Structure 1
Amino acid sequence: MLTIRALFCNFVCLLFSGLALAQTTPQSPGLTFLYSLNCTLGSALSVGAGPNGNRVVIPITGGSFKGPRLSGKVLPIGADWGLLDSQNIFSADTRYQLQTDDNAHIFISTSGPAQGDGRIHLRIKFETGSTKYYWLNNVIAVGILTSGNGYVAIDAWQLTSPPKA
């Protein structure tokens, strides 16, 4: 026979499990536009197979970027050290340098896989010592890369928290 305590515990467990099921999905974070970037590329160099796939190095030769809070040029320093995996999916792995219109330097690294539509979804990380752009060091950013003949275009957004309830 169940004791009153056991019945009460069963009732409380059922009550709380029902509440857990009734909870709503959390509110999604937002995205704030950072910039659009157009970058020129040099000739790709296939360096061959390694433990993670075929490495392809693509030099970054210049370009420009423009957004509401920062704009400037892409310096001809850096490359994409991407990988082509066993399923023939390319994953970007870039490091390159931006110079803003007011001469601040921002180091960028990106990574991310190609999608079925030919675009690449990027995780973007910024690094700068500039006081004006220091906020970028703490940004979680994503980008969508579209490639062309000798160039890539990247639209970048900052992840923003949803409003507090």
Structure 2
Amino acid sequence: MTGWEPGLEFVFELKVAVSEPIRVGRTASEDLNVTPIVGGTISGPRLNGRVLGVGADWWVTRGATTQLDARYLIEADDGAAIDVVNRGYWHAAEDVERRLYAGEDVGEEDLYYRTTFVFQTGAEAHRWLTEAQFVGYARPEPGQVCIRVFRVR
């Protein structure tokens, strides 16, 4: 063992605009919903652009944990299209959930809302997105989800 530890490099923040979730159904053990993605922005030191209104987040709640599976498209400022697959987990203590539903701001440190990304693009300028692992630290805001995206070094 070398003692080396991985680090994180902040690359951009996504502000993903969403519309009301569509409830698919509930069974005895889970609840499936789909949240349409309707737009948004990307800003940061490595990428700027917009989230296109193409895609959705399929989320399944099992007990206190929600498993997320989102797929959508982003467009870089240079016009390049980038496919995004974003999967992760969300859970929070009951008091944090009450604060969220009451409309209070809740920070990334108050809940577990973590995701991983896989990007695909044919644009040479953005190939770096297809050659590394990325993690996101998310927080809900009214009408959108904000995700700070980091490249794992």
Report the CA distance shift for 1:51/1:81 in structure 2 as closer, same or farther (over 3 A).
farther
Of residues 89, 113, 125, the one that matches 1:113 is 89
Supply the distance in 1 between the matched residues of 2:30 and 2:122 (Cα, whole angstroms): 35
State the AA in 1 paired with 2:64.
Answer: N
1:138 matches 2:114: no
Q: Kindly indicate whether residue 126 of structure 2 is the aligned counterpart of residue 150 of structure 1.
A: no
- What's the CA shift string for 1:64-97, capped at 9, x where partnerless? 0111121100000000001111x13112110010
Give the number of equivalent residue pairs: 136
Say which of 35, 38, 42 aligns to 1:61.
38
Summarize the alignment of residues 23-102 of structure 1 with structure 2, pairs less than 5 Å apart.
26-49=3-26, 53-85=30-62, 87-102=63-78
Write the letter of the residue equivalent to 2:37.
Answer: I
Unaligned runs of 5+ in 1: 1-23, 161-165
Larger deviation: 124-133 or 52-61?
A: 52-61
TM-score under structure 1 length normalisation? 0.77
Matched residues in 2 for 1:111 and 1:52: separation? 20
Identity, % of aligned positions: 32
Q: Find the aligned partners of 2:28 and 2:138 in 1 and give their Cα distance.
A: 26
AA aligned opposite 2:131: N
Cα deviations by residue, 1:86-143 (Å, 9 ceiling, x for unpaired): x131121100100001000111111111143334100111111111111211110000
CA distance in 1, matches of 2:7, 2:121: 24
Q: CA RMSD in A?
A: 1.7
Stretches of 4+ aligned residues off by more than 4 angstroms: none
Q: TM-score, normalized by length of structure 2?
A: 0.83
Partners of 1:79 and 1:103 in 2: how far apart? 21
**Alpha carbons 1:120, 1:144 under 8 Å: kept:** yes
Please tell me whether Structure 1 or Structure 2 has the larger radius of gyration of its CA atoms: 1
Note closer, same or farther for the CA distance 1:101–1:78 as it changes in structure 2 (3 Å cut): same
Matches of 1:146 and 1:122 in 2, distance apart? Answer: 11
Q: CA deviation at 1:49?
A: 3.0
